[in-house]
Amino acid sequence: MEVKERIIDLRQYFLYLWENAIIILLVSLAFTCGMAGYSYKKQKTFMNSTSSVERSILNSVISQNHDAFYSQNPSNPSNSLPFTDAEPPANTYNSSARLFVDFDFSSIEGNTNLDYSQMSKQLQQDATLLLVSDEALNSVIEKLDLHQYDDMSDITPDELKWLINKNFLGANVMQIVVTDVNPERSKLIAESVVDEFLVRSKNFATIDSVKVIDNASTPKGGMQSSAVQTSINKKSLLKYGIVGFAGGFIILAIIYLIVFIFKDTVRNAIDLNFADLRLYGYVAKNEKKKIEDYKRLAYDFSVLEDIKSISIVPVDKHSESEELLNKVNDELKSIGVKEVKVVDNPNMKDSADATLATINSDAAVILMAYGKTRMNDLIFTVNEINKTKTNLLGGVIIDKRH
């Protein structure tokens, strides 16, 4: 027994996808939004966890520098290391700058109780207090907008000053070291602190001038820069969005392919050939083309020999078309053919009398609805009409898509 193979027309499959383009587009966009949202949430979670860790590290630096500084106070029995010897916590960056501070000793020469060493130490203390004054550090916070960073969202001048390690290397050389978890930010803070000091020192009586010896630079080492994320990465959102759109489209395309195969509806001549039926005509969905298609059917009917009555047999309720019957009959009259009559029949799927109605006709034409009439129903209709020995002219596909 010969087994016929069902051929899938990929052109019809792509047309099927096009018919459902809006649904596919909407679902693909939903996948796009879903994947972009996932990326956003993932980044936000990472940023929150990262900023929490970074804030913890900053707090360690603040606490260590605070304790180390006050360990130099004889009244404090703390065992902390001296300020200049304290090692910063792991996973931090140090950006440093050096200044030459020229002091005006004449401003305190009237105090005979102080020698040069004592005067120098006092002037150095005054300079460091000016460097990290609340007013100066408030200006640094505002200019750099440090509150935009999650780990510094609530940073205060008093906390910021303990991220700045300041000491004199000799009588006039001041070293400034800013410790931070972000390398670029540590450099920016160091530069901003130096700028503020340069401006404010001009109005400070005990300082003649300040010159920059070494500018701050971006440090190396510490945490990997890829682990520091302070804002949502838009490129990542775009990448996930594209993946989501492509994934959604592919999933929908596969689903529609499965539906296309198992739905197994009639769409073209290849489908009719599988049912041992030839394509006799096609009625387009376009109103102007419909008229031409009706005229073509009427002409084909008019040239048939010894055929006066033609039964139009719909396969199912989807393919019923009173319009086709009326229009073809009208066209037959318009070309002067009065002998040929086109008669309507109930659809074969729902009516037991459909087969009997074809017996009284000279020929029959089967009607199918594009993409709606199922292949099994068409085969059943063909077999039933063939049992009556009625001359089966072929099939007409009606496109009822909107």
CATH superfamily of 92-220: EIF_2_alpha (3.30.70.1130)
Residue 66 to residue 140: CA distance in whole angstroms: 20
Paired tokens of 350: 């729902």
Strands 173-180 and 93-103: antiparallel
Q: What is the structure's pLDDT at 230? A: 59
pLDDT tens per residue, range 294-312: 999 999 999 988 888 999 9
What one-letter code names the amino acid at 352? A
Report pLDDT for 171: 85
Lowest model confidence (mean pLDDT) among 1-10, 261-270, 373-382: 1-10
Bridge partners (DSSP) listed for residue 282:
397
Contact 43, 302 (CB under 8 A): no
Could you read off the pLDDT of 42-51 as tens digits, one per residue? Answer: 887 776 666 6
Reply yes or no on domain 269-398 having CATH 3.40.50.300. Answer: yes
Segment 100-126 mean pLDDT: 77
What was the pLDDT predicted at 107? 66
> How do the domains of the chain map onto residue ranges?
7-86+233-263, 92-220, 269-398
pLDDT tens-digit profile of 340-368?
889 988 899 988 788 887 888 899 999 99
What pLDDT, in 10s, does the model give residues 46-83?
766 666 777 788 888 888 887 777 765 544 544 444 44
Mean pLDDT for the chain?
85
Q: Enter the pTM of the model.
A: 0.52
- The per-residue pLDDT for range 221-258, each reduced to its tens digit, is 544 444 455 567 888 899 999 999 999 999 999 999 88
